[in-house]
Chain A
Amino acid sequence: MEPFVIHTGKVAGLDRVNVDTDQIIPKQFLKRIERTGFGQFLFYDWRYLDDETPNPEFELNLPENQGATILVANENFGCGSSREHAPWALGDYGFKVIIAPNFADIFYNNCLKNGMVPIYLDKADIEYLLDQSKSADYQCTINLKEQTIQDNQGFTRSFVIDSHWREMLVNGWDEIDLTLAYEEKIANYEKQKARA
C-alpha cells in the first residue's frame, strides 16, 4: 500500500444521504477478478444516461468537479453491500480522501485497507465544504500525521482517526505482514482451543 502523509487536492461535493455501495459501483461491474479498472464504472447508473452519454446533471460530471481527489459526502456514506469494489472504484477514479458526517462500518474499513482516508467532520463543517466545493479551484490539504484538514481561506479542523490505522496508512504497511508477526500467539490460541 502506498503511504499517505499529506495530500492537497481539489474538492468535489456529493450532497446526498445514504449513498449505498450499489450506487458507488453497480453490481453488473462486480464480475471482474482484478482489483483495478473500476473507476470507469464509478456511480455508473447516476453518471451516465440511458444512451451511455454522461449525465450533465450528475455532481461528478459538473465542470467544477473535474480532477477532484477529495470527495465530500453526506450522512451514512457507503451503506449496504460489503463490496470492496466501492473504494477500488473511488480510488481508481482518483479520490484519495472521503469526508462525511458518518460512514457505514464496512465501507469505512474497506477504505483504510486501500490507502484511502475516510474523515469524519461535523455536519456544519460538511455544509461549509459542500458549499465551497461549488467553486472550481477550491482545494484542501489533509495532513494525516497531524490529523488536520485545512483550506486557503482559514478553515482548519482536526479530525479523529484510530492511531493504529493512522500508522498503517502513514507507513503504507501491509496488514498481513504485521499480523504474521503474531504467529506464535495465534498458534497458542489454536492449541488452547483444541484442548478445551
Chain B
Amino acid sequence: MGKTIIEKVWEKHVISREEGKPDLLYIDLHLVHEVTSPQAFEGLRIKNRKVRRPDLTFATMDHNVPTVNRFVVQDEIASKQMSTLEKNCQDFGITLADLNSPDQGIVHVIGPELGLTHPGKTIVCGDSHTSTHGAFGALAFGIGTSEVEHVLATQTLWQQRPKTLQVNVSGALGKGVYAKDVILSIIRKYGVNFGTGYVIEFTGDVIRNMSMEERMTVCNMSIEAGAKAGLISPDETTFSFLKGRPYCPNGIEFEDAVAEWKQLATDPDATYDKVVELTADEIAPTVTWGTNPSMSITIEDTIPAPEDFDTEVDKRAAHRAYEYMGVTPGTPISEIPVQHVFIGSCTNSRIGDLREAAEIVKGKKVSPNVRAMVVPGSQKVKKQAEEEGLSAIFVEAGFEWRDAGCSMCLSMNPDVVPAGERCASTSNRNFEGRQGKGARTHLVSPAMAAAAAIYGKFVDVRKLETASV
C-alpha cells in the first residue's frame, strides 16, 4: 500500500525504533529565536555540552525587536534577551541574522525566503507556528525550550509517531476570498482541537492552485487546529519558488534535489487515519468575533447567539467571549468599528500578502478613526515592497510602514493595542490579551484588514474595486 508524505518523511528520519519507546528522529534544520532559547543554551553551559550541528542551526531575532527605531530597544529585559542570543550564537558557532543583517525577519518568513526550508526536511523551532514550513512538504513543528536544548545537544528528538489527517479543500476560490479565509473556515467547521495528535496534509484543488505564500498561510495556522504540523505535498510551484534561493542547491544539484523531492508526494493509494472535507463554496471573507480562532463568521453574518453552541461549556465560553470582546449576539459584523489595523505576522506578512492589501488600499485614505500599520515579515520583503512601490501606496494612504518583526501579533515589543480597542489583524491568534491586556483582536485576511483600515469597519472585499499594483 502507498504512503502519505507524512509517513515518508517520518520514516526517512528514524534513527532508532525500539519497543516501548518513541522513535528517535533526526532533525535537519533547527531555527532559533531570542525568546525560547536562552534557557536552553544555559542548560548546555551548566552541563558543559556543545551544539552538535551548528551548521544545521540558524538563528534570528524577531519577537522582541522594535519595528520603528529598531536599534533603540528601550525595554532593558528585551534588550538583554537579544544580547544573550548574540552571545550564545557567538559562543556556540551559530549563524545569526541580527538586526544589522539584510536577512533578518520573522523566523518563519526567512527560513523559506533564504531557501533553508526544503521539501522532506524535519524542521523544528521553539515556536508553535513552525508548521508554516510544512507548505514546502517539510515536517515542521514547534517545540518547547527543553526540546530546543535537546536538539542543540543531539540534533534529535524522541517523538511518538503521529496519526495522519487529510484536510481536503475542493473547488475554486472566488474573487476576494483568500488563503486566510480557507484556514479560518476549516477551523470554524472542525474546531480548535480537531488536529490534536495528528499531522495534517492539506490537499485538493484549492490548495494545489495556491502560491507558496498562500500555502504558508494555511500551514501556519495548523497549530490553531491543534495539529502537530500541517504540510502540503511539493509540486512545481514549490520547486520554482525555491530555485536560486541562497541556501538551495544550484544547477545539476538542484535538479537532483527536485527529482528526490518529487518522490515525497503522497501516493495515490495511500490512506489517512482521518479525513475531513471543505468545499470552496463554503468559504467567504471571514472575521473572528471571539477569543479563539474557531469563533469566526463570514462578513455577511451576525455575532452568533448562545443557542448556536451545542454544549454547556461552549455556551459559557461564548459568554466570556461576548464580554471580553464587547460584542452582542445578533450584531452584524459589518457594523463593528475598528480602531487599529495590523498587517503583518508569520501568517500574512510576505510580499504576496502586501500586494493583496495594496490592491485594496491604492488611491484611498485610511479612516481618521484608525491607526494602521504594515509590518513586513522580513527586511527582504520590506526592500522588495519598497522597490515595487507598495510601501508608497501604504504610506500615501496613511499607514505606518515598519521594519520587520513579530510586532503586534503578540505585542512583546512596544506595538500594543490599548485595552477595550479593536484591531483588525492578519495574525493568527485572537486570544484574550494577545495584542495587549484587554485588547480585542479580529483575525482577517490582508485584503479584509486593508479594507477595514480604509472604511473604519469590516467590509465585504468581494464588493470592492481593486487596483492593479
Binding site for B on A (CB under 8 A): 16-18, 20, 22-23, 26-28, 30-35, 45, 74-76, 79-84, 87, 102, 104-106, 109-110, 113-114, 162-164, 175-176, 179-180, 182, 185-186, 189-190, 193
Task: Let me know if B362 is at the binding interface, CB within 8 A.
Answer: no
* A-contacting residues, B53-82, CB 8 Å: 63-64, 75, 77-78, 80-81
- Measured CA separation A110–B155 after assembly (Å): 18
Task: Let me know if B355 is at the binding interface, CB within 8 A.
Answer: no
Residue of A nearest to B411 (CB): A27
**Across the interface, do B39 and A35 meet the contact criterion of CB distance under 8 Å?**
yes
* A-contacting residues, B321-351, CB 8 Å: none
5 A/B residue pairs, CB under 8 Å, sorted by A:
A22-B434, A31-B81, A84-B126, A84-B144, A190-B26
Task: Let me know if B248 is at the binding interface, CB within 8 A.
Answer: no
- Measured CA separation A23–B333 after assembly (Å): 26
Residue of A nearest to B124 (CB): A82
User: B residues within 8 A CB of A82?
Assistant: 36, 126-128, 142-144
- Measured CA separation A84–B197 after assembly (Å): 19
Q: Which of B24, B47, B128, B432 makes the CB contact (< 8 A) with A106?
A: B128
Least CB distance, A29 to chain B, in whole angstroms: 10
* A-contacting residues, B89-126, CB 8 Å: 126
Least CB distance, A177 to chain B, in whole angstroms: 8
Residue of A nearest to B154 (CB): A179
Least CB distance, B192 to chain A, in whole angstroms: 6
Given contacts A113-B146, A162-B22, contact A31 B64 (CB under 8 A): yes
Given contacts A80-B128, A105-B226, contact A23 B432 (CB under 8 A): yes
Q: Which of B145, B193, B432 makes the CB contact (< 8 A) with A45?
A: B432
- Measured CA separation A30–B228 after assembly (Å): 23
User: A residues within 8 A CB of B314?
Assistant: 17
User: B residues within 8 A CB of A80?
Assistant: 128, 223, 429, 431
User: B residues within 8 A CB of A18?
Assistant: 192-193, 292, 317
Q: Which of B21, B42, B154, B196 makes the CB contact (< 8 A) with A164?
A: B21
**Across the interface, do B143 and A176 meet the contact criterion of CB distance under 8 Å?**
no
**Across the interface, do A179 and B64 meet the contact criterion of CB distance under 8 Å?**
no
Residue of A nearest to B125 (CB): A82
Q: Which of B77, B153, B313, B412 makes the CB contact (< 8 A) with A32?
A: B77
User: A residues within 8 A CB of B49?
Assistant: 176
Residue of A nearest to B197 (CB): A105
Least CB distance, B325 to chain A, in whole angstroms: 15
**Across the interface, do A104 and B196 meet the contact criterion of CB distance under 8 Å?**
yes
**Across the interface, do A189 and B15 meet the contact criterion of CB distance under 8 Å?**
yes
Residue of B nearest to A165 (CB): B22
* A-contacting residues, B413-456, CB 8 Å: 429, 431-434, 437
Q: Which of B196, B317, B320, B412 makes the CB contact (< 8 A) with A30?
A: B412
User: A residues within 8 A CB of B24?
Assistant: 179, 182, 185-186
**Across the interface, do A33 and B42 meet the contact criterion of CB distance under 8 Å?**
yes
User: B residues within 8 A CB of A193?
Assistant: 26
**Across the interface, do A106 and B142 meet the contact criterion of CB distance under 8 Å?**
yes
Task: Let me know if B220 is at the binding interface, CB within 8 A.
Answer: no
**Across the interface, do A22 and B431 meet the contact criterion of CB distance under 8 Å?**
yes
- Measured CA separation A82–B429 after assembly (Å): 13
User: B residues within 8 A CB of A179?
Assistant: 24, 150, 153-154, 156, 158
Q: Which of A20, A32, A106, A189 makes the CB contact (< 8 A) with B144?
A: A106
Given contacts A35-B39, A176-B150, contact A105 B433 (CB under 8 A): no
Least CB distance, A115 to chain B, in whole angstroms: 11
User: B residues within 8 A CB of A27?
Assistant: 410-412, 434
Given contacts A30-B412, A162-B22, A176-B49, 4 further A-B contacts (CB under 8 A): A79-B292, A104-B196, A179-B24, A180-B154
**Across the interface, do A104 and B226 meet the contact criterion of CB distance under 8 Å?**
yes
Q: List 9 tightest A-B contacts by C-beta distance, closest first.
A: A113-B146, A84-B144, A33-B38, A110-B144, A82-B142, A84-B145, A31-B77, A82-B128, A76-B193
**Across the interface, do A106 and B149 meet the contact criterion of CB distance under 8 Å?**
no
- Measured CA separation A196–B105 after assembly (Å): 32
* A-contacting residues, B293-331, CB 8 Å: 313-314, 316-317, 320
**Across the interface, do B26 and A189 meet the contact criterion of CB distance under 8 Å?**
yes
Given contacts A33-B39, A33-B80, A82-B128, contact A106 B143 (CB under 8 A): yes
User: B residues within 8 A CB of A30?
Assistant: 35, 63, 412
**Across the interface, do B15 and A17 meet the contact criterion of CB distance under 8 Å?**
no
- Measured CA separation A110–B40 after assembly (Å): 13
**B261-296 vs A, Cβ < 8 Å mask (1 yes, 0 no):** 000000000000000000000000000000010000
User: B residues within 8 A CB of A190?
Assistant: 26, 155
Least CB distance, B156 to chain A, in whole angstroms: 6
- Measured CA separation A131–B63 after assembly (Å): 40
